[in-house]
């Protein structure tokens, strides 16, 4: 899309927010990733309003940078030449291994190829340890990776390792970085993030009850965790664990994060939870920690820093999930259109029926809306910082998975009985997107943040100081 100052003849899209006004001129969409877009808008409100300052126009420029475009082309060719052909090989090797938590050898081949092509650690904005891309530059690449389950791992851009690498990069000591960050960046090991607990409602992280107690030059961990993604991967070696170091401290300083090797005495991986019956190779571990001793130097950023680290970790993680989710849904839409064109009932292809065309049109436009919101959020993170973009991050975290889930749901319906079988990838896609509405916090908690902010803004607009915050 290109910027125009005034609506061109036949222009279909204008948008306003507060005093902001932008004209969007559509250009043809590509199958693979976000359309480039340039929007000029007048700044409005304060950074608290979502990042816009009073003053001059700012350019919200969503066009691909040269670097992003080069990587995008490289990634598309990697996907066509190596990743899509490896999907069946990966599934076959996993099935042959006799364990749902095996590491199919083809993945190491893909990793070597991706690294050789410079498609490695693309998520990490730091240029020394990662690719040095902005969130906006990374967005189209993450979307392409999202099109298949195996691409993100092939490029060392998979959750939860990305978040853990960011934590180690931002908060780790040089020793912690050398011991754990370096092999993670090299894709030699994998990791887990152990925050959620089976025994407490973990969407309120103040409930986290695991104890991390100082004992001389060690900490002792006791508690239970579940949904620790990655814990059953054969290469998983390290966990970032959240727990209480000081239950008597102010609420948001009670929690700390600590590095705990998976093979430490007292750590037991009991089993993986399933997702709608699917067992994922990396697993979602149910773990117990009984008198687990780790060196005191394993603490991350000091006692009481758990919430601060969690906030820093979750922002990028959430937007990466949304970027990949759009890739999932784009692929589902492709499948839906293909099926609708080739399947006939009552003498007509399905694509001739009005309701099916409605679904296709609605899906296309919903995905465009979702992508624009994700790009705007990425742009805000890059320009005013993750903290000022937190409401937008909360917004996409509930809006995008829901939209993508609707698209996949329609694709399933168009496929009839096949849609809910594993003969097509749609049922698995659906399970993944549905669970994304819980992972990294349930929809309701993110909606709460957006609603609270909106209510405050509206009260301020009315000059109403009596109502509660």
Ligand X SMILES: Cc1cc2nc3c(=O)[nH]c(=O)nc-3n(C[C@H](O)[C@H](O)[C@H](O)COP(=O)(O)OP(=O)(O)OC[C@H]3O[C@@H](n4cnc5c(N)ncnc54)[C@H](O)[C@@H]3O)c2cc1C
Nearer to ligand X, 187 or 441 (CB): 441
- Rounded to 5°, the CA angle 49-51-54 comes to 80
Shortest Cβ 455–ligand X spacing (Å): 15
CB of 1 closer than 8 Å to CB of 27: yes
Nearer to ligand X, 157 or 439 (CB): 439
CA atoms within a 13 Å half-sphere pointing along the CA-CB vector of 30: 16
Shortest Cβ 202–ligand X spacing (Å): 4
Shortest Cβ 204–ligand X spacing (Å): 6
Residue with tokens 């117990």: 288
Give the whole-angstrom CA distance, residue 399 versus residue 326.
11
CB of 79 closer than 8 Å to CB of 149: no
* Contact residues: ligand X, CB under 6 A: 160, 193-196, 201-203, 227-229, 275, 284, 435, 438-442, 444-445, 448
Nearer to ligand X, 52 or 193 (CB): 193
Shortest Cβ 247–ligand X spacing (Å): 19
Shortest Cβ 343–ligand X spacing (Å): 32
Nearest to 289 by CA among 271, 264, 306, 310: 264
Nearer to ligand X, 188 or 204 (CB): 204
Nearer to ligand X, 267 or 380 (CB): 267
Shortest Cβ 305–ligand X spacing (Å): 17
Nearer to ligand X, 51 or 317 (CB): 317
Rounded to the nearest 10°, the torsion over CA 428, 199, 402, 375 is -100
Check residue 64 and report its DSSP letter. P
Nearest to 87 by CA among 33, 138, 153: 153
* Sign of the dihedral through C-alpha 247, 248, 249, 252: positive
Q: Is 246 helix (H, G, I), strand (E, B) or coil?
A: coil
Q: Is 211 helix (H, G, I), strand (E, B) or coil?
A: strand
Nearer to ligand X, 401 or 441 (CB): 441
- Diameter of the chain measured on Cα atoms: 79
Shortest Cβ 440–ligand X spacing (Å): 6
What is the separation, in whole angstroms, between the first and last Cα of the chain? 39
Nearest to 78 by CA among 36, 32, 34: 32
Give the whole-angstrom CA distance, residue 400 versus residue 398.
6
Nearer to ligand X, 106 or 159 (CB): 159
Shortest Cβ 76–ligand X spacing (Å): 28
Element (H or E) spanning 270, and its range?
strand 267-272
């Amino acid at each position: 899309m290109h910027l125009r100052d005034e609506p061109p003849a036949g222009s279909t899209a204008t948008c306003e927010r507060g005093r902001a006004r932008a004209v969007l001129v559509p250009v043809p969409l590509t199958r693979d990733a976000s359309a480039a877009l340039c929007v000029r808008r007048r700044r409005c409100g304060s950074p608290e309003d979502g990042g816009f300052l009073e003053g001059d126009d700012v350019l919200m420029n969503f066009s691909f940078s040269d670097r992003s475009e080069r990587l995008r082309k490289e990634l598309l060719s990697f996907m066509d030449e190596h990743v899509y052909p490896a999907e069946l090989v990966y599934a076959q090797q996993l099935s042959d291994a006799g364990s749902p938590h095996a590491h199919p050898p083809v993945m190491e081949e893909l990793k070597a190829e991706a690294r050789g092509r410079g498609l490695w650690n693309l998520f990490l904005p730091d240029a020394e340890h990662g690719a040095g891309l902005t969130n906006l530059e990374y967005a189209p690449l993450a979307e392409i990776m999202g099109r298949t389950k195996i691409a993100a791992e092939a490029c060392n851009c998979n959750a939860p390792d990305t978040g853990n690498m960011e934590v180690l990069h931002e908060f780790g000591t040089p020793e912690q970085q050398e011991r754990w960050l370096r092999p993670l960046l090299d894709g030699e090991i994998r990791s887990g993030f152990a925050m959620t607990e089976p025994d407490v409602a973990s969407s309120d992280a103040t409930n986290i009850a695991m104890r991390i107690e100082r004992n001389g030059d060690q900490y002792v961990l006791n508690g239970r965790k579940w949904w620790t993604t990655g814990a059953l991967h054969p290469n998983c070696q390290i966990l970032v664990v959240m727990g209480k170091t000081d239950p008597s401290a102010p609420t948001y300083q009670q929690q700390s994060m600590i590095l705990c090797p998976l093979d430490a005495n007292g750590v037991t991986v009991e089993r993986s939870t399933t997702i709608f019956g699917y067992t994922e190779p990396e697993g979602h571990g149910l773990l117990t920690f009984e008198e687990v001793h780790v060196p005191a130097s394993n603490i991350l950023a000091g006692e009481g820093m758990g919430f601060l680290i969690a906030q820093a970790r979750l922002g990028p993680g959430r937007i990466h999930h949304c970027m990949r989710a759009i890739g999932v849904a784009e692929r589902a839409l492709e499948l839906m259109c293909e099926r609708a064109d080739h399947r006939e009932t009552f003498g007509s292809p399905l694509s001739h029926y009005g309701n099916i065309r409605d679904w296709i049109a609605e899906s296309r436009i919903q995905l465009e809306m979702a992508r624009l919101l994700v790009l705007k959020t990425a742009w805000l993170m890059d320009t005013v910082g993750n903290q000022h973009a937190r409401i937008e991050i909360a917004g996409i975290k509930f809006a995008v998975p829901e939209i993508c889930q609707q698209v996949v749901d329609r694709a399933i319906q168009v496929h009839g009985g096949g849609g809910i079988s594993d003969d097509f990838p749609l049922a698995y896609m659906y399970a993944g997107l549905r669970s994304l509405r819980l992972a990294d916090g349930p929809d309701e908690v993110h909606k709460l943040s957006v609603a609270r902010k909106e209510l405050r803004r509206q009260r301020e607009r009315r000059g109403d100081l009596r109502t509660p915050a």
